[in-house]
Amino acid sequence: MATVLAIETSCDETAVAVVNNRKVESSVITSQIPVHRQYGGVVPEVASREHLETINGAIAIALEEAKLDWKQIDGIAATCAPGLVGALLVGLTAAKTLAMLYDKPFLGVHHLEGHIYATYLSEPTLEPPFLSLLVSGGHTSLIYVKECGIYETLGQTRDDAAGEAFDKVARLLELGYPGGPAIDQLAVQGNPQAFTLPEGKVSLPTGGYHRYDTSFSGLKTAVLRLVQQLEKDDLPIPVADVAASFQETVARVLTKRAIACALDNKLSTIAVGGGVAANSGLRKHLQQASLEHNLRVLFPPMKFCTDNAAMIGCCAAEHLSLGHTSPLTLGVQSRLPLTSVMALYRH
């Protein structure tokens, strides 16, 4: 079993973890939410500077909490794509430096593959094939997980990601940043049937609608027009009802497509990953639907839904055990399809 020290700096969390195969020995996450909240979203340059200030301390704490020294570390990993280029460079440079300093194998990890592996941290016996529903601030995809490094995208958003839609609607309702948790908390107080909102179906050229693809841009616009109409009519905006109706629509859309995709492809397990995996509405809908269709649905622990280094370490440990390593010349990329994961490794 491989023990890996992993670094995650793709966006606004400085995270370091030590993972032994699928067991987390330590996990350190320094959030930048208070810093970016005043701007209503992540400022890339600010994120990079924050990573620079906290990365060394996070590495030291992760090693200390794991009660390990560098001789007991088998490899060093860092997220290399996709993400904010400046932020990624901080983590990748730190990982490469450590790999050279301590003569350890280096691995560059795809951020989305990390989210797939987050489920393994609570379900260590999970094995492919299964369907992964990745829902975060930047991605909404249905992935056929065939084996380590081998993936097929079966469905995806055509515009806004689910998490991005949550943030934009929260900003519209003046709920602050980040939007996902704010809407989730408020939705509990509202009526999810108060307003009928569009599901954002994606039309096919031959007629009908795509069974797996999603679109959240129209849903976001519908909420905007609803609020504008209420203001025009000089009516109070029932913020809790709007939040609940919006969340209900997103959860229903994602559940419907995930269930259809799993059944069509004869996959009995759906593993959910990404920040939106923490949403209570999605969890409720998907768990109920999976029972009705005799499917197994798996969610990571809440602490591993959002960006963290434990999922990166778990992924890297599996690649390292298969003999996969990355060259020290590997760079960062703001975009990289999940289907190109194996291009990151020598094997």
CA distance 303 to 110: 19
CA 31 to chain centre: 15
Residue 137 assigned to a binding site: yes
pTM of the complete model: 0.95
In the chain, where the domains are located: 3-119+305-344, 129-299
Each residue's pLDDT, cut to its tens digit, for the chain (347 residues) gives 799 999 999 999 999 999 999 999 999 999 888 888 888 889 999 999 999 999 999 999 999 999 999 999 999 999 999 999 999 999 999 999 999 999 999 999 999 999 999 999 999 999 999 999 999 988 999 999 999 999 999 999 999 999 999 999 999 999 988 899 999 999 999 999 999 999 989 999 999 999 999 999 999 999 999 999 999 999 999 999 999 999 999 999 999 999 999 999 999 999 999 999 999 999 999 999 999 999 999 999 999 999 999 999 999 999 999 999 999 999 999 999 999 999 999 97
- Structural contact between residues 155 and 201, judged by C-beta atoms closer than 8 angstroms: no
Furthest-apart CA atoms within the chain: distance in Å: 69
Q: CA 191 to CA 214: how far, in whole Å?
A: 24
Residue 184 marked as a ligand binder: yes
**Phi then psi dihedrals of residue 23, to 5 deg:** -115, 130
Side-chain-side CA neighbours of residue 48 (13 Å): 12
Same fold for the domain at 3-119+305-344 and the one at 129-299? yes
Query: 307 among the known binding-site residues?
Result: yes
Closest-CA residue to 152 (of 164, 143, 161): 143
Per the annotation, does 210 bind a ligand?
no
Q: List, edge to edge, every strand of the sheet that includes 130-135.
A: 150-156, 140-147, 130-135, 269-273, 296-298
* Phi and psi at residue 315, to the nearest 5°: -65, -45
* Residue 336 near residue 81, CB atoms below 8 Å: yes
Residue 264 labelled as part of a binding site: no
26 is in an annotated binding site: no
Residue 134 assigned ligand-binding role: yes
Q: Is 69 annotated as a binding residue?
A: no
User: What are the C-alpha distances in Å from 2 to residues 66, 147, 299, 342?
Assistant: 14, 18, 24, 19
Rounded CA gap, 271 and 239, in Å?
A: 32
Residue indicated by tokens 């997103």: 250
At position 161, the amino acid (one-letter code) is A
Residue 57, marked binder: no
CATH of segment(s) 3-119+305-344: 3.30.420.40
Is 241 one of the annotated binding-site residues?
A: no
Class of domain 129-299: alpha beta
